[in-house]
Amino acid sequence: MDNTREPHVSGGFYPDDYEALMDSIKGSMDITMPDIRYKKLIGAIVPHGQYMYSSHTAAYAYKIIQESKKRTFLIIGPNHSKFPAYPAIYLDGYWSTPLGYAKVNSELSERLLLKSDIIHDDKEAHITEHSIEVQLPFLQYLFKSNFTFTPLILGNQGAAIARNIAETIESLEEKPFVLISSNFNHYLPYDKNNELDQILINDIQEMRTLKFYQDIEKYGITACGYGAIAILMLITKNMKGKIALLNHSNSGDYSKDRKRVVGYSAMIAYK
């Protein structure tokens, strides 16, 4: 298919075979959910680690996402290369995974590009970035081809950037489901990593954006998509919503290595 981004981390972060990928996601979705009562879903935070480590936690959010009536997703993640520094949107076309093609919502992409003075149209910035890509198989598993998405990645994740994008999203007449792709702290021993993750989780649940940024600086927390998380915090607070933790884990729960782990959280924003 013309105008298609081919998968970059298929066979690395997740299986490159249709059946194996479907089985992997199906297995991760076999979980018992906490009781969350809501009237409206706003968004979610999901990890983007290798599926063998993070898909179990991601599944907690996707179990609720499958109940959402919205089929338009704004997926926001970090640009791990940090270049370009500006927020980069993918304007149109398709993204391919072993489960098929996912259509970019060009109308939403164009609206965001028009309304924001800091977002740039830059497909090249997305070619090797995995934070958006690893979410698509879950959405395809749930909805097949019956959804669209807009990918947005952040190089600079400062508070001013987060506020600008949050305000841009809030200005939309029809709000997409805001799906935030971020791992939590990286590469500390198991217990210390969990301790820093809990600091962030507390800040996120209380939607204290200023303290969230202060704690990242104070404790040297290395959550890679912190600016994307801040966007959801701002939107949810302005909508008088809540953010709840569904599940937390780290790579040490699924690996023998507990000396250098990566944290994963699934959180849901709702009213």
**96 in a structural domain:** yes
Domain count, the chain: 1
Q: Which domain holds residue 244?
A: 4-31+40-256
**263 in a structural domain:** no
**Per-residue confidence (pLDDT) for residue 2, from 0 to 100:** 85
Nearest to 153 by CA among 84, 222, 101: 84
Per-block mean pLDDT, blocks of 10 residues, the chain (271 long): 95 99 98 94 99 99 96 99 97 99 99 98 98 99 99 98 99 98 99 99 99 99 99 99 99 97 99 97
Q: What CATH number does the domain containing 60 carry? A: 3.40.830.10
Judge whether 167 and 112 are in contact, CB under 8 Å.
Answer: no
Spatial separation of the C-alpha atoms in residues 82 and 157, rounded to whole Å: 9
**187 in a structural domain:** yes
**270 in a structural domain:** no
**64 in a structural domain:** yes
Q: Environment class of residue 124 by beta-carbon count within 10 Å: exposed (0-12), middle (13-18) or buried (19+)?
A: exposed
User: Is this prediction's pTM over 0.95?
Assistant: yes
**264 in a structural domain:** no
Peptide bond into 84 cis (omega under 30): yes
**Per-residue confidence (pLDDT) for residue 1, from 0 to 100:** 80
Q: Which residues pair with 179 in a beta bridge?
A: 44, 75
Judge whether 156 and 85 are in contact, CB under 8 Å.
Answer: yes
**228 in a structural domain:** yes
User: What string of DSSP letters covers 35-75?
Assistant: ----S-EEEEEE--S-HHHHHHHHHHHHHHHTT-S--EEEE
**Per-residue confidence (pLDDT) for residue 81, from 0 to 100:** 95
Read off the tokens for 16. 């490159």
Q: Environment class of residue 256 by beta-carbon count within 10 Å: exposed (0-12), middle (13-18) or buried (19+)?
A: exposed
**79 in a structural domain:** yes
Read off the tokens for 37. 């009562």
